A and B are shown apart, each in its own frame.
Chain A
Amino acid sequence: MPLIDLRQISKTYGVGDLEVHALQAVSLTIDPGEYCAIVGSSGSGKSTAMNLIGCLDRPSQGIYRLDGIPVNTLEADALADIRNRKIGFVFQQFYLLPQLTAVENVMLPMVYANVPLPQRRSRAMKALQKVGLGNRLHNRPNQLSGGQQQRVAIARAIVNRPKLLLADEPTGALDSQTSRSILEIFKNLNRDGMTLVMVTHDEAVAQQCDRVITFRDGQVLSDRPTLPAAITPVNQG
């Protein structure tokens, strides 16, 4: 059973003459354990696809099953629950809460998952150790470098043991060396069995994945595995 199963998904914004068809009848499946990049120029529909896959938004038409659950039928609170338990998010701007320490930031998803308090701290510390930040537990975000902040964000994304890790331009705000170390963490997580979907416009980053899905004009333009030295026709956006 695929982890992500999009069938004839359409997303339309606005009404009447102002209608924008962000996605048009997109069908797509991603299996558990895949490491997959979504690329495309701005306006290609990749962000809309990312929002739908992440259950932050609902499709106008079509069926979306996440881990077998038809999430397109769910209400806002149920979607919040799905996001909490099944999806981890990593964003370009990290989105850490400045008033909380690293470990407190990582504990946040478990607060909404009703994990008992004593477990939260130990799980958060384990997650931070996994991303190599075991010695920065009690620093606040402004005491951490960009790469360290993104690691905290990754720890936060994996702490509820989600099935899917969704990364939106995770290296967009980082220098190339730091980017490599972040991608290394992703690779390790994928090796441990985590399904990863990453939205990026950076072809070099996309090449790190096993599969690249290219969007254009609200449709899937190409969907192919990366080859070690492949010359992949990625649309530069």
Chain B
Amino acid sequence: MAYNLFENATMAIKTLGANKLRSGLTMLGIIIGNASVIAMVAAGQAAQNYVTRQFESLGTNVLFVTPGDAQRGPDAGVRRADTLTLADAEAIAAEVLAISEVSPEKSQRLRVTHGAAETQANVLGTAPEYLTVRQVTLAQGRFLSPVDAQSNVAVAVLGSETAQTLFGNQEPINQRIRVDNVRFTVVGVVASRGSSFGQNLDETVYIPIQVMVNQLTGQEVGKTSPTVQTIAVSARDATSASAAIYQITNLLRLRHGLLTQENDFTVQSQQDLLDTAASITDILILVLGFTAGISLLVGGIGIMNIMLVSVSERTQEIGLRKAIGAKGSDISAQFTIEAIILAVIGGVIGSSLGIVSIVILTLTTPLSAGISLSAIAISFTVSGSTGLIFGLLPARRAAQLDPIVALRS
């Protein structure tokens, strides 16, 4: 090529600089496109990280047994809230070998008071094993003990926020609280656990599940054992999770008298939940990225538009260049490089804006977005090639101009 790349680039920058407003407006599309690709992908990944952290906060090697068939949804006919009982939990603890501990969970939102202080809290009836299965740390006092469970003593362990609301700076241990007008003695406070899926885990009152059934919820009609909402089970170790799922499933089918029917319960490992969530957030990232990609495409079409206008406005320049010896390839290189430079400069500005918006996102939302180098690389490549692709047609048109016609126009 007679006209080398460096000179072409210098010439293009001069030409673009001579018409700053137009060059700026042309770049705007690419800037927005790039910024949105980078910001959207980062937001998607941040959402994914957030969801992943939420599941990891549930504890590792944990299995969750829930009533109904989660896979088949509410219309499956077997999704009933009352198919799991405390007796099931006890049976799992006694008979399944691949597990180490079992924590039945039954919760209800109730009014909790201490003197004049009053709050709504999630009252969670559970067993002493909850502490280890759910990996909870105590801030003060002790957690529920096996003795509490057996002797039906009304003791309570408070979540950090509930303790703060009811007691302020007072010492809560051995104080009395009322839960739905039943008296409880506070024996411990749990360290802050944050929130999980929008539920604030620190607004919780932990009490023995037997006490909850006997004094708060009462025995359900037609049930020999109280129902529970979740049975959290810790597998013996990471490798025994699938064995545990198999054994729990068999045991519960037997206990529920299921011969040919579908399961009326669901056993899921934390990994299953993570995978499901990841597959959803992957789609989220894809959709966000695709949407942003479309804006990049629109930006590219903007470049083509302006370049076409530019070619028809600069026919005399093209004619002159041809008259003094420019070949078609020289002219098309010139216009293509102008388009690429527009796209690349737009790409740089857009990427910077994208990064700024990631920083803002991290500062203003619970999502912590990482700056994805691959997203920057991709959006750069895309905007560069957008410039190339959308610069080609105008460049071709310029190269094919007849010098006589161009000069006489």
Contacts and interface: CB of A to CB of B under 8 A. Distances in A.
B325 A51 contact: no
A95 B7 CA distance: 21
Interface string B1-30: 011000100000011011000000000000
Interface in B243-276: none
Given A100-B14, A111-B3, A112-B330, A56 B317 contact: no
Contacts of B2: 111-114
Nearest to A101: B14
Interface stretch (A74-82, A183-191, A193-201, A228-236): A74-82
B363 to A, nearest CB: 43
A97 B15 CA distance: 9
A84 B319 CA distance: 13
**Which of A80, A85, A114, A160 has most chain B Cβ within 10 Å?**
A80
Contact of B324 (A57, A77, A83, A100): A83
B18 A98 contact: yes
B326 A97 contact: no
B318 to A, nearest CB: 11
A31 to B, nearest CB: 24
A35 interface: no
Interface in B375-409: 403-404, 407
Interface in B304-343: 316-317, 319-330
B317 A80 contact: no
A77 B328 contact: yes
B339 to A, nearest CB: 17
Contacts of B407: 56, 91, 95
A114 B325 CA distance: 11
Interface of B is mostly: helix
A64 interface: no
B317 A81 contact: no
A89 B328 contact: no
A21 B407 CA distance: 22
Range class of the B interface residue count: 20 to 34
B321 A108 contact: yes
Contacts of B329: 77
A218 interface: no
Contacts of A83: 322-325
Interface in A89-114: 89, 91, 93, 95, 97-100, 108-109, 111-114
A113 B330 CA distance: 12
Contact of B320 (A54, A84, A97, A114): A97
A46 interface: no
Contacts of B3: 111-112
A81 B319 CA distance: 15
B324 A156 contact: yes
Interface in A137-190: 156, 160
Nearest to B400: A76
Given A111-B3, A114-B2, A97 B328 contact: no
Contact of A97 (B17, B317, B330, B404): B317
A77 to B, nearest CB: 5
A98 B15 CA distance: 9
A109 to B, nearest CB: 4
A80 B326 contact: yes
Contacts of A109: 324-325
B90 to A, nearest CB: 86
| Residue among A54, A98, A109, A112 with most chain B CB within 10 A | A112
B314 to A, nearest CB: 9
Given A51-B404, A57-B404, A97-B317, A112 B18 contact: no
B324 A76 contact: no
A112 B17 contact: no
Nearest to A51: B404
A98 B327 CA distance: 21
B22 to A, nearest CB: 13
A57 B405 CA distance: 10
A80 B404 contact: no
Nearest to A100: B14
Contact of B14 (A84, A89, A95, A99): A99
Which of A81, A91, A93, A111 has the most chain B CB within a 10 Å cutoff? A111
Contacts of B322: 80, 83
Contacts of A93: 316
A85 B325 contact: yes
B324 A84 contact: yes
Nearest to A85: B325
A113 B321 CA distance: 12
Interface in A108-131: 108-109, 111-114
B187 to A, nearest CB: 82
B97 to A, nearest CB: 83
Nearest to A91: B407
Nearest to A159: B324
Given A80-B325, A84-B325, 17 more contacts: A51-B404, A76-B327, A76-B328, A77-B329, A80-B322, A80-B326, A83-B322, A83-B325, A89-B324, A91-B407, A93-B316, A95-B323, A99-B14, A99-B15, A100-B14, A112-B3, A160-B325
List 8 A-B pairs, minimum CB-CB distance, nearest first.
Answer: A84-B325, A99-B18, A112-B325, A95-B320, A109-B324, A80-B327, A77-B327, A89-B323
13 contacts: A51-B404, A56-B404, A56-B407, A77-B328, A80-B322, A80-B325, A84-B325, A98-B18, A100-B14, A109-B325, A111-B2, A112-B326, A113-B2
